[in-house]
Chain A
Amino acid sequence: MNTCSEQIIQSMHAYLDGELSREEERILKEHLGRCTDCQKLMDELAEPLALFKNTVPVRAPEGFVNGVMARLPKEKSQAGFQRWLRNHPLLSAAALFFILMSASLLSSYDNDQQFSVTKQPNLIVEGETVIVPEGEVVKGNVVVKNGALRVEGEVDGDVTVIHGSKYMASTAVVTGKSEEIDEVFDWLWYKLKNMLKDVMPSTGKQDD
């Protein structure tokens, strides 16, 4: 049907793609003007494109957006947690600090199974029992780990017994605080309290 060269057909397509120069377009139009076969082919190529020009866009149905949102995977709790971390940098740092501190303190809680006592000149140590003798005044805080403490005299300071037992005679006097620590949490609390006292000596004094 069409005897014209492939080149003319190629330039028809280039024309439809908007890629012909003015000069090339002039040559094509000139050819179409005198070649009815090519004009017919050109019309046939352009006809469906004219049909598509009339396309009316179809709109998404009602509830489309909600449908998408319902199909999304639930936000991972991990994502929520990460967002919280990002939004609360100071708290996160504090929490991380607390976790690391607890870990190191806990490891010392487990390892520290040996009997020990603070050194004060007038304390008497018999095996794993520490005695504050009657009539004596022990200056400073007394700390006993993994052992027993008998207080018969006077302690001018705090008394702390960790993992052990405490016996207070009727004559005993403790001017500071007196506590026994057995549970992990008590232990942690005690350590942190001591650290705070070290960091802020003034508040420690006020407590005394």
Chain B
Amino acid sequence: MNVNQGAVAQAASSVRVVIVDDHAIFRSGLKADLDASIHVVGEAATVEQAIAVIAEQRPDVVLLDVHLPGGLGGGGREVIAGSVPLLGTTRFLALSVSDAAEDVVAVIRAGARGYVTKTISGAEITDAVFRVAGGDAVFSPRLAGFVLDAFGTAPADIADDELDKLSARELEVMRLIARGYSYKEVAKELFISIKTVETHVSAVLRKLQLSSRHELTKWAAERRLL
């Protein structure tokens, strides 16, 4: 029933969302900010609550704070790890006040589809929720900067392992996002369609999640103190 409801809701461009954050003030503020077409079906303040609520509600999108009390201390990463069976239908969007690369990269590598800072506006976060619900990745300028820093700004040779480097096109897209361009503006700048931009961003997200490049982890650890 839940699955059906989710599919119908998406068709009617209405998204079911669970908000996970340990600050009640932030949760209520976020709820007020979100567009009317987004239904907040659950809230959670700890890792355990979050896993339970997500399993029960099977939302389309989980807005997930990176830092959460409870569990084994893993925060948002642990919530995603605890909801692995749902990863096909439920998507995670990481929210954070932390700029530390380690936190952000950890939660993305755990399976989040994007990362935005908590200071962004209600319209922006609504847009990000819809984008994630539609299966796309959401990159803030800062996350794009992290990616460029981690993967390096030189394009991949053909001989390279494709997971370890970004292609020239992907680099261009990341650079424009880091410069503050929206997907639409990126598409216009590069004379490609928005769909293509989304494809590139998703490819970068996949590389970020799957790359076994040991420098990535090392880099994030070094950047713990941004």
Same assembly = no
Residues of A within 8 A of B (CB): none
